[in-house]
Amino acid sequence: MLTRRQFNKKLLGSVASLAMPRIAVADGVQDLVASEARTRLAPAEYPETEVWAFGGSVPGPTIRVPQGAKVSRRFVNDLPQPSSVHWHGIRIENAMDGVAGMTQPAVEPGAQFTYDFTAPDAGTYWYHPHNRSWEQMARGLYGALIVEEAEGAPEVDLDDVLLIDDWRLNDAAQIADDFGAMHDWAHAGRIGNWITVNGNGAWTREVQQHTRMRLRLVNTANARIFSLEARGLEGWIVALDGMPLETPEPLERLSLAPAQRADLIVDVTADEGGEAMLVSFERDGGYALASFPVQGRARTARLSDPIPLPPNPVPALRSINDARRAELHMEGGAMGGMQSAMMGGRRMGMREMAAAGKVWAFNGMAEMGETPLIDAARGETIRIAMTNDTAWPHAMHLHGHHFRQISADGSVGPLRDTLLMNRSETVEIAFVADNPGDWLLHCHMLEHSAGGMMTWLRVA
Ligand code: C2O
Ligand code: CU
C-alpha cells in the first residue's frame, strides 16, 4: 500500500485511562458527545491511536432518519477545546448550521448545544466540527448523516456508508500534532500517510456474486483528493453530494474531493471465490481502498440497470441570465503570484501574512470581512464566477444551498455542495438563494480555509 508508511515497532508507554462517553438521555433528546477516545487504526502490532471522537468511536455514530424527519442531538463537548457541529450539505435553518463564531458561539469544554432541524432532502450527508476544523477533523471528529428516501428508494441487498479518511500518524501510530504546519497550509493541505474506511485500515465486506449494493462514499479527509475505480463491480453513480443525478452515470473513474459524497449502486460481477474492490489511485499506482470477497451467489443473473433516485425538493434554477453576479478571485499559496493581501484593515506582505497564519486570499482579502461577498434577497438567483489563480486544486463548499455549475456553452451541471476546482480553472456556479441567513463559502481543504480561503454570503 503506497500511502502506508512503515511504522517502526516501538510501543507507546502506558496511556492514561480515558473517561467513558456519556450517553444519558434525560428529556428524549439523544446526546452526541465529543470526547477523547482510543481506537485501532493501525495494524495489530501497533498501539491503538488516541483520537477525538463523537460517541467514542471513529467514525461517530451514523445518524439515519427518514426524509422530512427531525434530527435532534444535544452536542456535549467533552473535548479539551471549544467545538461545534456542522451538518454538511443539509439545507437547514441558519441557526443550526454549527459555524462557531458565525451562527453560534463555539461550545466550550463541558458545555452543550442542542441541534434540532428537519432533514428536507434524502441522501448522504455528514457532520463534523466547525471550529479549528483542521485539527478537530484530523483527530477523528466526523460521522455520517443518512436521510432515507421517503419513497422510491432503490432496491438493494446492502446499504453501506464508507467514510474515507486520510490520517497523518507518527511511528507510534499516534496522530501527528503538527497541525499548524505552514508548509501544509501553503501547499496541498495536510496530506496523511494512513488511509482508512470507517476507521479501518483494511475495510472488507463479504458479498455474493450479483449482490446489489448501495455504497455511500464520503471523503472526510482534511485535504486528500481520492480518485476511485471499481474492480469486479459494475456500478453507477446515482447521487453526488446527496443529490440524485437525473440519469445514473456509469461508474468509471470517480474523483472525490474533501467533503464530497457519491452514492453508488454497484453489482458484484466478480466470480465466486474472487474479490471485488474499490481501488484508489495515486500518482504512482493504486491500492484497494475497500475489498469485497465473493462467496456464493445472491441470484443467478445480474439485475437490470438502476433507475434514478427520486429528486429532492431543491428550487429549480430559473432566469440565470438576469441573475445577480459576483466574482471570486482565489489566489495565494506556494508557487502562486500573490504579493500581499488585506488583513485587519491594512495591506500585508506575504511574510507578515504567514506570520499571522494566512497564506491565501479571496478577492484580495486574507480574512473574512464585515461585508458579505453577496447580499441576496430571498429567492434571488445568484451566479458566482470563481477563478482559481493558484497552483493548487481547491474544493469549494457553499453552506445552506446546493448549486449547479454553469458552463460557457450554457450546459448546467448536477446539484452539488462542494466543487473541485483545478489550478487555473474558472468555474461559474448558480443557485437560488432561498435560505435566509449568513452562509460560508470556503475551500474544504481545511488548511486552506483556515489560511484565508473563506468568505460568506448573506440571504435576507
Ligand atoms: Cu463541511 Cu464549512 O464545512
Ligand atoms: Cu483549497
pLDDT in tens, 388-428: 999 999 999 999 999 999 998 889 999 999 999 999 999 99
315 falls within a domain: no
pLDDT at 285: 85
Residue-by-residue DSSP string for 60-84: -PPEEEETT-EEEEEEEEESSS-B-
- 399 alpha carbon to ligand 1 midpoint, in Å? 7
Query: Does pLDDT of 1 surpass 50?
Result: no
- 168 alpha carbon to ligand 1 midpoint, in Å? 20
pLDDT at 2: 33
pLDDT at 282: 86
pLDDT digits (tens, 9 = 90+) for 228-256: 999 999 999 999 999 999 999 999 999 99
Query: Does pLDDT of 7 surpass 80?
Result: no
Rounded Cα–Cα distance for residues 143 and 137 (Å) = 10
* 90 φ, ψ (degrees, to nearest 5): -85, 130
Mean residue pLDDT across the chain:
93
**Which of 148, 180, 198 finishes a domain?**
148
**Which of 122, 148, 174 finishes a domain?**
148
pLDDT at 283: 82
Rounded Cα–Cα distance for residues 142 and 128 (Å) = 5
**Which of 95, 115, 148 finishes a domain?**
148
311 falls within a domain: no
Using alpha carbons, list the distances in angstroms from residue 253 to 201, 203, 229, 238: 22, 20, 5, 14
Is there a contact between 448 and 394 (Cβ–Cβ < 8 Å)? yes
Is there a contact between 141 and 83 (Cβ–Cβ < 8 Å)? yes
Is there a contact between 33 and 56 (Cβ–Cβ < 8 Å)? yes
- 129 alpha carbon to ligand 2 midpoint, in Å? 18
- 39 alpha carbon to ligand 1 midpoint, in Å? 25
Residues, Cβ < 5 Å to ion ligand 2: 394, 443, 445, 448
Same domain for 449 and 358: yes
Average pLDDT over residues 301-313: 95
Query: Does pLDDT of 14 surpass 60?
Result: no
pLDDT at 27: 65
Same domain for 130 and 244: no
Tally of domains within the chain: 3
Rounded Cα–Cα distance for residues 398 and 89 (Å) = 8
Which residue's C-alpha comes closest to atom 1 of ligand 1?
88
Residue whose C-alpha cell is 502506508: 4
349 falls within a domain: yes
Furthest-apart CA atoms within the chain: distance in Å = 70
Ligand closest to 331 (CA) is 2
Ligand closest to 451 (CA) is 2
- 448 alpha carbon to ligand 2 midpoint, in Å? 5
Cβ neighbors of 448 (< 8 A, separation 6 or more) are: 185, 189, 223, 333, 360, 392, 394
Q: Which atom of ligand 1 is nearest to the CA of 399?
A: 2
| Residue among 210, 397, 236 at smallest CA distance from 309 | 236
pLDDT at 302: 87
Which residue's C-alpha comes closest to atom 3 of ligand 1?
88
* 352 φ, ψ (degrees, to nearest 5): -65, -40
Average pLDDT over residues 309-338: 95
Give the least confident one: 24-38, 85-99, 170-184, 379-393. 24-38
Same domain for 132 and 78: yes
Query: Does pLDDT of 21 surpass 50?
Result: no
pLDDT digits (tens, 9 = 90+) for 74-128: 999 999 999 999 999 999 999 999 999 999 999 999 999 999 999 999 999 999 9
Q: Which residue has the higher pLDDT, 346 or 26?
A: 346
331 falls within a domain: yes
Same domain for 346 and 430: yes
Same domain for 341 and 226: no
Query: Does pLDDT of 170 surpass 90?
Result: yes
Residue-by-residue DSSP string for 416-448: BSEEEE-TT-EEEEEEEE-S-EEEEEEESSHHH
pLDDT at 17: 36
| Residue among 329, 335, 431, 422 at smallest CA distance from 376 | 431
Report the percentage of the chain scoring pLDDT > 90.
90
- The ipTM of this complex is 0.98
Q: Which atom of ligand 1 is nearest to the CA of 89?
A: 1
Protein residues with CB under 6 Å of any ligand 1 atom? 86, 88, 128, 130, 259, 397, 399, 440, 442, 444
pLDDT at 136: 98
Same domain for 293 and 163: yes
Same domain for 274 and 228: yes
| Residue among 60, 204, 25, 68 at smallest CA distance from 136 | 60
Same domain for 392 and 355: yes
- 444 alpha carbon to ligand 1 midpoint, in Å? 6
| Residue among 196, 190, 186 at smallest CA distance from 133 | 190
Residue-by-residue DSSP string for 130-152: -SSHHHHTTTT--EEEEEE-SS-
Q: Which atom of ligand 1 is nearest to the CA of 126?
A: 1
Domain range enclosing 370: 324-459
Cell of 335: 508557487
Same domain for 277 and 171: yes
306 falls within a domain: no
Give CB contacts under 8 A, 24+ apart, made by 453-456: 453/330, 453/332, 453/360, 453/361, 453/362, 453/394, 454/362, 454/367, 454/368, 455/328, 455/362, 455/363, 455/365, 455/368, 455/372, 455/373, 456/102, 456/368, 456/372, 456/373
- For 117-155, give one letter per residue: b (16+ CB within 10 A) or e: bebebbbbbbbbbbbbbbbbbbbbbbbbbbbebeeeebe
Query: Does pLDDT of 10 surpass 70?
Result: no
Same domain for 190 and 103: no
20 falls within a domain: no
Rounded Cα–Cα distance for residues 352 and 361 (Å) = 14
302 falls within a domain: no
pLDDT at 91: 98
17 falls within a domain: no
For residue 140, give the CATH number of its domain: 2.60.40.420
Question: Sorting pLDDT into bands at 50, 70 and 90, what band is 5?
Answer: very low
Same domain for 171 and 252: yes
Planar angle of CA 415, 420, 426, nearest 5 degrees: 95
Residue whose C-alpha cell is 503506497: 2
Q: Which atom of ligand 1 is nearest to the CA of 99?
A: 2
pLDDT at 25: 52
Same domain for 275 and 242: yes
